[in-house]
Structure 1
Amino acid sequence: MTLELVQVNFKARDDAALGRFWAQALGWSMSSEGPGVTNLEPVGFDWPDPSAVCVDLVRVPDPETVKYRVRLELATTSDAHQAELAARLEELGATHADAGRGDVPWKVMADPEGNVFSVLEPRELYRDTGPIAAVVVDCADPRGMTRFWGEAIDWTVHELSDDRALLRSAKGVGPYLEFRRTSHDEAVRSRIHLDVMADPVDDQAREVARLEGLGATRADVGQGEVPWVVLTDPAGNEFCVLGRG
Structure 2
Amino acid sequence: MTPRRFGICIDANDPERVAEFWAAVLDREPEASGEEIRLLPRTDDDLRIRFLPTDAPKTLANPHHLHLTSALPQDQQRTVDRLIGLGATHLDVGQLPEEDHIVLGDPEGNELCVIPAGNSWLAGTGFLGEVAADGSRENGLFWSAALGWPLVWDQDGETAVATPSGSAKVAWGGPPPVPRGPRDRFRFDLIAPEDTEPAAEIRRLEELGATLVTEIGSDGRWARMTDPDAYEFEVLAPR
TM over 0.5: yes
Specify the alignment match of 1:109 in structure 2. Answer: 104
2:50 to 40, 56, 68: 56
CA contact (8 A) 1:72 1:136 kept: yes
Specify the alignment match of 1:133 in structure 2. Answer: 129
Aligned length: 235
Specify the alignment match of 1:38 in structure 2. Answer: 37
CA distance in 2, matches of 1:186, 1:218: 23
Specify the alignment match of 1:82 in structure 2. Answer: 76
CA distance in 1, matches of 2:2, 2:179: 30
CA distance in 1, matches of 2:139, 2:177: 16
Relative to structure 1, the CA distance from residue 6 to residue 201 in structure 2 (aligned partners, 3 Å threshold; closer, same or farther) is farther
CA contact (8 A) 1:63 1:191 kept: no
Q: Segments of 4+ in structure 1 off by > 4 A?
A: 223-226
Q: What is the aligned-residue identity percentage?
A: 28
CA contact (8 A) 2:13 2:55 kept: yes
CA contact (8 A) 1:166 1:179 kept: yes
Normalised to the residue count of structure 2, the TM-score between the two structures is 0.89
CA contact (8 A) 2:41 2:47 kept: no
Specify the alignment match of 1:212 in structure 2. Answer: 206
Specify the alignment match of 1:174 in structure 2. Answer: 167
CA distance in 2, matches of 1:213, 1:175: 26
Aligned counterparts, 1:13-24, within 5 A = 13-24=13-24
Relative to structure 1, the CA distance from residue 42 to residue 131 in structure 2 (aligned partners, 3 Å threshold; closer, same or farther) is farther
CA distance in 2, matches of 1:125, 1:184: 22
CA contact (8 A) 2:69 2:116 kept: yes
CA distance in 1, matches of 2:123, 2:153: 17
Normalised to the residue count of structure 1, the TM-score between the two structures is 0.87
1:119 to 108, 114, 120: 114
Relative to structure 1, the CA distance from residue 133 to residue 161 in structure 2 (aligned partners, 3 Å threshold; closer, same or farther) is same
Show CA shifts across 1:78-110 (max 9, x none). 221000000111111111111112121100111
CA distance in 2, matches of 1:52, 1:13: 25
Relative to structure 1, the CA distance from residue 134 to residue 232 in structure 2 (aligned partners, 3 Å threshold; closer, same or farther) is same
SS in 2 for 1:18: helix
CA distance in 2, matches of 1:244, 1:80: 39
Unmatched segments (≥5 aa) in structure 2: none
CA contact (8 A) 1:2 1:198 kept: no
Specify the alignment match of 1:9 in structure 2. Answer: 9
1:100 to 2:94 alignment: yes
2:227 to 224, 233, 242: 233
SS in 2 for 1:181: coil
**1:133 maps to amino acid:** G
CA distance in 2, matches of 1:66, 1:242: 27
1:144 to 2:143 alignment: no
Unmatched segments (≥5 aa) in structure 1: none
Relative to structure 1, the CA distance from residue 229 to residue 176 in structure 2 (aligned partners, 3 Å threshold; closer, same or farther) is same
CA distance in 2, matches of 1:213, 1:100: 38
CA distance in 1, matches of 2:152, 2:196: 31
Aligned counterparts, 1:186-197, within 5 A = 188=181, 189-197=183-191
CA distance in 2, matches of 1:177, 1:224: 27
